[in-house]
Amino acid sequence: MNTAVLTDIRPTTGDRITKFALGLRGFVIPVLALVAWQLASQQGAVQAYVFVPLDGVFKSLIEHFADGEIPINWLASLGRTASGFAIGGLLGVSLGALMATFRPVDVLVNPIYQAVRQVPLLGYIPLISLWFGNGEPSKLLIISLAAFYPTVLNTYEGLKHIDARHVAVGRIFLASRWQTFRHIVLPGALPSVFTGLMQAVAFTWLSSVGSELFFNPGPGLGNMMANGQAAFRMEVVLLAVIIIGVTGYVTNLIVSKIADRVLRWRNVR
Amino acid sequence: MAFETPSPTAKLSIQSLSKNYVIDQKALRVLLNIDLDVHEGEFVSIVGRSGCGKSTLLRLVSGLENDYSGTIQLDGKVINAPSLDRGMIFQDPSLLPWMTVRENVAFALVNQNIPKAEKDKRVLDLIDLVGLKGFESAYPKELSGGMAQRAAIARALVSQPKVLLLDEPLGALDALTRLRLQNELQRIWLQHRMTMIMVTHDVEEAVYLGDRVVIMDPEPGRIRRIVDVPLPHPRDRASPVLHAIRDEVLKDLTNGVVI
């Protein structure tokens, strides 16, 4: 191989500064919005109620962290999301796998699944509150469903579309049923399963906050928001929105990093 | 280099082999009355136009398909399922993308009771043999087409098959890589002296590597003629005898029509 003409492509200090500066581009719009917000809050008393001054929001952040309101509600929402993700994800992957493996299950369950899936989760809230009440079980059900739908679909699709050439390789080398599953079917379906799990992470977090807004009792960021609104404390509402956004962003980032690591063999074009 | 001792080889015997596919309730004759004996350690090339059933013939010998009439025997034993006696290489390397080169080659021994130390040694020896040393931990996406096909060759050889079946193994490669891998195949064959049957579109390749070249006709697929290539290996590409045989095969394939 000829390596003599290859140029040195290691990043220089200048490259690093450029990269850092480019990375800051994502902050341009938020900073502009904050400046506009701050200006709006200084226009009068009414504006100061709707657009809480930023120093007020920051003060309230410190205050409610110290008195435990933020940690309690934040952890409650996170815990609820994690439980729903675990329940819905586990059931979803299992049902998707059963449907892909056993034809009778596919024939019996697939049409119902496709029909039920057409109704948005919010559409089930009246029914669910009628059947299961206003409390924790109803919230958990909504969140579990949010994890269930995408994992069923993507597990099913992943298992149904295993490359025939890879299956032939298994046959040629006399792989047993278990070996074929372990070395060919499972890894072949994994990218699709991960797509489902990543959607589930995003949907569960959204539906967790949503269900807290619709069903009343218990701590959670959604409740914190609702209570803040009821008490005319806009800075609390704003805080909840920011915490929800940042948490969702960070969890998605973590999950996609895990996927990149587990699926590092994947050819991303 | 490993495997100085020649691998065991086998004699393949095909008698009045016919094969039909049923498409839209109509029988399509793919192979008709194929008779072919391949001797131990022989290199047989099969050429023919698209649709002459040459790939199907190879799939039947591999045991991937087993619905046929007539007999296919390896050392007197009827073939009706895949076996590690017969290694197979496709045009597409068909490596498992989630396995490294080393894991892919080792996968050929997935269901074999071989001590781990010996398994590891055989795998590494073959990676070395096909010239992929240093790429043991690479994933298929990191390999060029030629390197991926080398890995597939190593995987087909690691179970020490008696017969190696090659279905247009170099068809997807660029011209230079192709020439290089033809030489590699010849070197491996000389070293192991296993029986090899290769289907190809490339007449030059068929003549350069084969002891005999089987010319097939399409619709239904049948043997038109078998041409001997009475030259010792390794061969000289520039040999006038080789060129004369190539021209003859080409002429026969095109029914004397000059292209």
The pLDDT of residue A129: 85
Q: B99 in a domain, yes or no?
A: no
**For B69-99, how does the pLDDT look when each residue is reduced to its tens digit (9 = 90+)?**
888 878 777 777 788 888 888 888 889 999 9
More confident residue, B257 or A80: A80
Q: Each residue of A96-119: b (16+ CB within 10 Å) or e?
A: bbbbbeeeeebeebeeebeeeeee
* CA separation for the pair B31, B217 (Å, rounded): 10
pLDDT band with cut points at 50, 70 and 90 for residue B125: confident
Judged on CB neighbours under 10 Å (0-12, 13-18, 19+), B75 is middle
- What distance in Å separates residue A265's CA from the closest CA in chain B? 5
- What distance in Å separates residue B67's CA from the closest CA in chain A? 16
Report residues of chain A scoring pLDDT below 70: 1-11, 268-269
- Tokens representing A196 are 């489902």
Q: Which of B64, B98, B159 sits opposite A168 (nearest CB)?
A: B64
The total number of structural domains that make up chain B: 1
Q: Which of B82, B96, B98 sits opposite A174 (nearest CB)?
A: B82
Write down the ipTM of this complex.
Answer: 0.78
Q: Does B28 contact chain A (CB < 8 Å)?
A: no
Question: Quick one: DSSP state of residue A39?
Answer: H
| Domain spans of chain A, in order of start | 54-262
- CATH superfamily membership of A54-262: MetI-like (1.10.3720.10)
* CB spacing of B82 vs A172 below 8 angstroms: yes
* CA separation for the pair B104, A218 (Å, rounded): 53
Q: B95 in a domain, yes or no?
A: no
Q: Does B65 contact chain A (CB < 8 Å)?
A: no
* CB spacing of A176 vs B92 below 8 angstroms: no
Question: Where do we find the tokens 């200006």?
Answer: A39
* CB spacing of A267 vs B90 below 8 angstroms: no
Contacts of B92 in chain A (CB under 8 A): 165
Contacts of A168 in chain B (CB under 8 A): 64, 94
- What distance in Å separates residue B177's CA from the closest CA in chain A? 13
* CB spacing of A165 vs B82 below 8 angstroms: no
Could you tell me the pTM of the whole model? 0.75
- What distance in Å separates residue B139's CA from the closest CA in chain A? 6
* CB spacing of B96 vs A172 below 8 angstroms: no
Residue B25 has pLDDT above 60, yes or no: yes
Contacts of B101 in chain A (CB under 8 A): none
**For A35-80, how does the pLDDT look when each residue is reduced to its tens digit (9 = 90+)?**
888 888 778 777 777 777 777 788 888 888 888 888 888 999 999 9
* CB spacing of A266 vs B141 below 8 angstroms: yes
pLDDT band with cut points at 50, 70 and 90 for residue B112: confident
**For B28-66, how does the pLDDT look when each residue is reduced to its tens digit (9 = 90+)?**
787 787 778 888 888 899 988 877 788 888 888 888 888
Q: Does B82 contact chain A (CB < 8 Å)?
A: yes
Q: Which of residues 220-259 of B touch A (CB under 8 A)?
A: none
* CA separation for the pair A34, A53 (Å, rounded): 10
Cross-strand bridge partners of residue A219: none
Q: Which of A165, A175, A264 sits opposite B94 (nearest CB)?
A: A165
Nearest CA in chain A to B152: A169
Q: Does B166 contact chain A (CB < 8 Å)?
A: no
Domain that holds residue B222: 1-77+202-259
CB B198 within 8 A of CB B44: yes
Task: Label residue B6 left, alpha or beta by phi (over 0 means left) and psi (-120 to 50 means alpha).
Answer: beta
Q: If you count them, how many residues does chain B have? A: 259
Residue B221 belongs to domain with CATH number: 3.40.50.300
Q: B5 in a domain, yes or no?
A: yes
* CA separation for the pair A13, B126 (Å, rounded): 44
Contacts of B98 in chain A (CB under 8 A): 187-188, 190, 265
